[in-house]
Structure 1
Amino acid sequence: MSYSNDHPIRLIGGRLALDLVNTADWSEDSEVVHEKIESLEDLGVWLQAFGLSDVALPATAEAFRAFRADLRQFLRSEDRPHLLRLQREVGAWTANGGIARPSLSGLAIMSAFSIVADPRELGRVKTCPGDNCGWMFVDETKNSRRTWCLMETCGNRAKAARHYQKIREERNIS
């Protein structure tokens, strides 16, 4: 599956809240450098890939992006300053044709709360150091040494950059 911009959907976060945040690439100063959710249709495709095609969507893609930024800030912050704002934004259940169904924002907030409520879980949440990646994931490796969101993308780029730098340095020494 892929978004309308042909980027593949990758669910690597390990938790709904983290994978939701990973629908954009982030700079070190928490600015979106590459948006994957350009429309509500893209969000629908992402939800289908996650197995949540029957949840209530936000009113607009812009509302989703604002919520996602707040959710990322909440997950990355020590003092959780966006908690009250997130709680105000979300109605955990919405009515649709007489049948109550969960909202995406409600499910994401429950996922985020479950992460921050468990110190062991929160301690395993990492942010990929890849250049303009910023994806978040739960490091579930036995020794907690996972560094990259995906080795085949960010990890390989970093290894290639180190190799290139080493070659340049060797050539300058000679």
Structure 2
Amino acid sequence: MSYSEGHPIKLVGGRLALDFVNTADWTPEDEVAHEKLTNIADLETWLRALNLEQTEPVQDLQSLIDFRFRLRQLILKRTGDSVLNVVQSLDFSRAGSNASIPFNQSITALIAASAVSVLTDNRELKRIKMCPGNNCGWLFVDETKNGRRTWCSMESCGNRAKAARHYAKIREERL
């Protein structure tokens, strides 16, 4: 199920770039386990949830999805690419040449700005974690005082992990 078909939109990343990367569920091998942006309607639904529906329309969804993969690799330091190379790979020709961001800026430009902000701040980078949930792999900024947040969300992955541990314990006790 995709966003336009009613899949719930969960914004747990703490930064736009991370929430964008989280528009897919990921396997431990960095493959997409569940794609939530299958068409432009899905992207529009996601943008509405973020109050970003005034951004310029996206013409090429596949390029945006390719950017998402490269961005994830960069955040997880699984690539030799630089922030500059990833950002320069985007087409900002429609964004205008002035330094201010117009109200109807492209979503790729907004995501890129968020990514640059995260990737150039070592304090932010150190707090980025990946959810260990089964085929989740979502990224989030751990903003807890003690830095011990584990799950993207206790309501989903955390709860499933607790239930699985409980079930395994009961099975073990019965043997």
Q: Report the TM-score, using the length of structure 2 for normalisation.
A: 0.88
**Structure 2 unmatched ranges of 5 or more:** 97-101
User: Which secondary structure state, in structure 2, belongs to the residue aligned with residue 102 of structure 1?
Assistant: coil
Partners of 1:62 and 1:42 lie apart in 2 by 13
**Contact 1:73-1:82 within 8 A present in 2 as well:** no
In structure 2, relative to structure 1, the CA distance for the partners of 1:14 and 1:160 (3 Å cut) is: same
Report the CA distance between 1:86 and its aligned residue: 3.5
Partners of 2:93 and 2:105 lie apart in 1 by 6
Report the CA distance between 1:80 and its aligned residue: 4.8
Deviations 1:40-68 (A, max 9, x none): 11111111111111112432222221111
Are 1:134 and 2:137 an aligned pair?
yes
Deviations 1:13-63 (A, max 9, x none): 110000001111000111001011111111111111111111124322222
Are 1:91 and 2:85 an aligned pair?
no
Match of 1:38 in 2: 38
The alignment covers a number of residue pairs equal to 168
Are 1:47 and 2:62 an aligned pair?
no
In structure 2, relative to structure 1, the CA distance for the partners of 1:46 and 1:24 (3 Å cut) is: same
Match of 1:73 in 2: 73
User: Which secondary structure state, in structure 1, belongs to the residue aligned with residue 146 of structure 2?
Assistant: coil
Q: Which amino acid aligns with 1:34?
A: H
Structure 1 window deviating more from structure 2 (39-48 vs 84-93): it is: 84-93
Structure 1 window deviating more from structure 2 (86-95 vs 159-168): it is: 86-95
**Contact 2:54-2:103 within 8 A present in 1 as well:** no
**Contact 2:71-2:86 within 8 A present in 1 as well:** no
Q: Report the TM-score, using the length of structure 1 for normalisation.
A: 0.88
Match of 1:6 in 2: 6
Report the CA distance between 1:87 and its aligned residue: 1.5
Are 1:101 and 2:104 an aligned pair?
yes
In structure 2, relative to structure 1, the CA distance for the partners of 1:77 and 1:92 (3 Å cut) is: farther
In structure 2, relative to structure 1, the CA distance for the partners of 1:117 and 1:103 (3 Å cut) is: same
Higher relative strand content? 1
In structure 2, relative to structure 1, the CA distance for the partners of 1:64 and 1:78 (3 Å cut) is: closer
Match of 2:124 in 1: 121
In structure 2, relative to structure 1, the CA distance for the partners of 1:61 and 1:157 (3 Å cut) is: same
Report the CA distance between 1:104 and its aligned residue: 1.1
Partners of 1:66 and 1:24 lie apart in 2 by 12
Q: Which amino acid aligns with 2:58?
A: P
**Structure 1 unmatched ranges of 5 or more:** none
Partners of 2:43 and 2:166 lie apart in 1 by 38
